Each structure stands twice: as structure tokens, then as C-alpha cells.
Amino acid sequence: MSAVRYAYPKLRLAEQLKAPGGRPVVEALQAAQKNLDEIRPQCLDELRALTAEALACFAGFTQAFSAQRLEALYAIAAGGVGLGKLCGTPEADTTLVSLCGLLDHLCASGRWDREAVAVHVQTLQLLALGAGRRLDPAAADQILSGLKKVSARYAHLAGLHAPGTGEPG
């Protein structure tokens, strides 16, 4: 009869993490912020290009429900989440996430509301044009609150949960 032997490999990463030395956290964060500042102009260009792509996709929408068009716009919006934070316009990320939620709800319910999608795309356009400049916090909160209400309305109609609540919208 053979004996079972357990072997535990030594992981280099685990050893490196335990070893003292390296850059202090504060310095690493400063270096990371410097790198982000360097790519900010490219991120602004990406946000503006993504917004133009979303507008072009939306321009092809008709008054009738089309899951394919909703999915195409969803892919564009989901691909841009994170750009807003890099550009100094985190409201753009919130708008993109809200748009994705709305599109999910519309697909799930089979309902169509061109105006609800339009307000999200137009808000994204507004934010992209002013990307890098902070909105008045009260105005930003009011705009984003309105978008969340629109998306939550369709979450309720689709029988889905409103984001972050666990409760039906």
C-alpha cells in the first residue's frame, strides 16, 4: 500500500509580501496619483469618444422596443464605467451605472421608454463636455437623484430590486 504525501509549494509572492522593504504606502499612493494625472487627458478623450458612441447608438433607436439596440448601448455604457473617476467627473460613472441599470430593467420587462434612455444619454453628454470640472455638488446630487428615480421606476416594473436595497424598486 502506498502512502499519501502532501506537498505545499512555497509561493514566491507570499514570501515577497512578508519580506520587509519596498516603497512606503504613502509614496506608492503618490506615485500612482502622479501616473493617473499623466493619463487624465487621454481619459477625458476616451470619455468624450464613448459619449459620442453612445449618442450615435441612441440616434438609431426607434419608438419600438429593440433588445439588440438596448444591448448595444449597454455594452458601450458598461465599457465606460470608471472613466469618470479618472477624469475627475465621478458623476459620469454614476450616470453610466444608472443607464446600465435602466437598460437591464427595460430588457427584463420588455418595456420601452425612449425618453428615459434619452435623459441618461443627455446627462452623460453634459458631463463629458464639462469633464474635468466639478459640478456644483447640490446640482450634481439633484441630477443623479433624478436618474436613479427613473431607473428605480423601471426596476419596480420589471420586478427587480433597486440597486443596493434588496427591496423591489
| 167 pLDDT more than 50 | no
Residue 25 in any domain: the answer is no
pLDDT at 166: 45
Residue 49 in any domain: the answer is yes
Q: What would you report as the CA-atom Rg of the chain, rounded to the nearest whole angstrom?
A: 22
Which residues does 79 contact at the CB level (< 8 Å), separation at least 6?
A: 50
Nearest-10 Cα torsion for 59, 123, 143, 70:
40
- pLDDT over 70 percentage in the chain: 89
Domain of residue 152: give its range: 45-158
For residue 150, give the CATH number of its domain.
1.20.120
Residue 4 in any domain: the answer is no
Record the cell numbers describing residue 130, joined without a space: 464639462
Residue 87 in any domain: the answer is yes
pLDDT at 155: 74
Residue 150 in any domain: the answer is yes
pLDDT at 152: 81
pLDDT in tens, 11-46: 787 777 777 777 888 988 999 889 988 999 999 999
Type of residue found at 151: S
pLDDT at 76: 97
pLDDT in tens, 67-123: 899 999 999 999 999 999 888 888 999 999 999 999 998 988 888 889 999 999 999
Mean pLDDT of the chain: 84
Residue 95 in any domain: the answer is yes
pLDDT in tens, 129-159: 876 666 778 888 888 888 888 888 877 665 5
Query: What is the domain count for the chain?
Result: 1
Distances in Å between the Cα of 138 and the Cα atoms of 134, 143, 145 are 11, 9, 10
Residue 1 in any domain: the answer is no
Residue 18 in any domain: the answer is no
pLDDT in tens, 37-48: 899 999 999 999
- Give the rounded distance of the alpha carbon of 82 from its chain centre: 5
Are the CB atoms for 61 and 94 separated by under 8 Å? no
